[in-house]
Structure 1
């Protein structure tokens, strides 16, 4: 069993402070409050986990049942290393993610394990519920290279025109950076716009179940005619 007590030494050197020299000399200070504000904004953006039908979400090839669901959580909890999914018999993982309405998907964050277990690619499929690994052999709607990221700094941009009416998203992770048989994912963040589902079928069912007086009247006349004849 792999040791899951990973360090957080992420050496990819991304700078997100936004406080570079601007030559303007206006003397604005960018302190901890700015970092906190940025964190809050990110948290509000990456909140589509609240719109996932968690009871119906599945993760294929997860080592521990139900662990795939734990990676979809609040942005501020993204660094919680106690919640993760690890692949079982090989390096592949496949998430089937149903939403409670429709989504315009605008961004993804992926936090994986160390270099050797961190996914190196994700393949996105739109509106193909209950996909299997065999189904995932089809051409995806988009394929994206995934970099080693243990802090959630790197945002991946889907082609919005292709993912503007998503009721179900499947994410296939076919491989990892270490060519190992173990892939680990700690957090998946989803950003986008959400619309409630339209439940036309409820209206139609209620209408059809309503008694039609005209039908009863016709049946009564038919019965009378039969009796007379």
Structure 2
């Protein structure tokens, strides 16, 4: 197997693992409730979250590599606190204002009511913000930093593989979440939305507290 393909496959597998982290799954599920829990919207939300996440991770990692800049443990700790705060904010919004982003403005008579673009913007932004906490780990895992020769082509194929893994993994999570919701009646769906919001909020608080105490 060529070094270029090997680096890509390693990045792909690690991107898949990164995508199914509990904080990412909680965030995507919570965003799905903000968008009204529709099947198509939930999958779209997950993919937009993944795009924002992959773009931010890859962008910062690339800049750090090109500039020869490393990131400290202190940066990582506060970035994780920030990520937990984003997750907590999403959970509060989902619990207090369910479906709040499903319709961003009143519709004229005769116009179909489709989910507003606001939910897509929030999903992409949330994915990007939560990516900041994982940049240092990505830099430490990148083959260029481990074996030297940071400008080698084989090493740089790791990043697109990692990004693709994130897109596939988060897309599958969104699809499974949407499929599960589609099998529930309206009453059960409402309870699932509340449970998702409470679980995400608890995870966000734990994430923040553990990083502050651990620091």
Is TM > 0.5 for Structure 1 vs Structure 2? no
Q: Give me the TM-score of the superposition, normalised by structure 2.
A: 0.26
Give the number of the structure whose residues are more often strand, by fraction: 1
Q: Give me the TM-score of the superposition, normalised by structure 1.
A: 0.24
Give the number of the structure whose residues are more often helix, by fraction: 2
